Structure 1
Amino acid sequence: MGNQLTDIAPNTSFLPSFQSLHVVVIGLDSAGKTSLLYRLKLKEFVKTIPTKGFNTEKIKVSVAPSRSINFQVWDVGGQEKLRPLWKSYTRRTDGLVFVVDAAEPERMEEAKVELHRITRTSENQGVPVLILANKQDRDSAASVGEVEKLLAVHELSACTLRHAQGCSAVDGRGLQPGLEKLYEMILKRKKMVKHNRNRKR
């Protein structure tokens, strides 16, 4: 499943018709990013191996009773040596999905550092972020509120639209409402960008 890393960052042209939105899934290794991707794609839990490069899938998500949207989702490896490459994938993205293992509180500080680092890069200023507190099927998982505190979500830039959502790759809970919220935030940001552009004319 893991493709080899290439020098080619995903190149998505801006689609005014919103036929396909470009979304990048990042987070520490073993947070469950690839399992979440294939839960969305195949509607079942897939036990995966650590991603050496990236996986990419087109996923159809219903965002209204009679409306579906295509997300082109890039899932990028989270091992420490791969994290500097994240910015190659997030450069022209419509939205970020940051996955944390809510049952591993001892790694929250490390996750917090990476979340704040990637959202502060100049290319990602204002890009909407969906934070997925994964592994809610486990009794030891921290609640969404606890995860937000541990990640210091309130300290993210005021221009960054964000939403934290509990979820589970095992049973799929929380993924649909999380992606609906991400879609809303992406639309809101596109409108804001357009409005600001028109004002400057």
Structure 2
Amino acid sequence: MGQSVSIAAPRLKKPSWKDPRLLIGLLLVLGSIAGVIVLVGSADRTTQVYTAREDIAVGQVVTEADLSIVKVRLDDVESSYVTVEHGLAEGRVALQRVAKDQLVPQQSLGVADALDRKPVAIAMEEELPAQAVPGARVDVWIAMPGSNRAFEEPQMLLPSAEIAGITTGSSTFGSAKTTVVMVLVADEQMPKLLGALANKANVSVVWNPAGVVQ
């Protein structure tokens, strides 16, 4: 009879906590979990900020009733906007126009004394282009009264003035439509415009598509 040969199978050893391969694997798993937690946490770093419920005009007193709350991710520019966490100070007025649904910048609000532009109503019978809306820019021209019921040569008084608002109505006798354009005027320009209006100058408002000061 042949001799039977038996081969002993190697016995598996139970892993030990001291096994470096086990420790490395555990560190990799923990590192992966930590990375996922950081990624999810950073993706959820949203801030509650205020947006304009409707258009906010320059000089308007702004309260929480004029605002809505949204969650957005601002990261490094968070300090540039009005957040719910820091709240809205009382008695703030709009120093610049804020369009509907736009985030409210910190620099757009301040005290009334900081207003360097004020709205002045200019009535005109000419129609403005559809693009001339609040926030758009217009050039204001004046022609002072001259002799023989004529007017002097027109001169540009206000280049690229911002429109604060527009209303349309009828003249006193209802025979013609009148458009009243609220134009924002700087304090140093105010005397010339008010003087022209008081002296019954011919005032024309022209849409400036470039929207820049000339």
- Higher-RCO chain (CA-CA 8 Å, sequence separation at least 6): 1
Structure with the higher fraction of residues in strand conformation: 2
What TM-score bracket applies, with the shorter chain setting the length?
under 0.3
Give the TM-score, by structure 2 length. Answer: 0.20
Give the TM-score, by structure 1 length. Answer: 0.20
Structure with the higher fraction of residues in helix conformation: 1
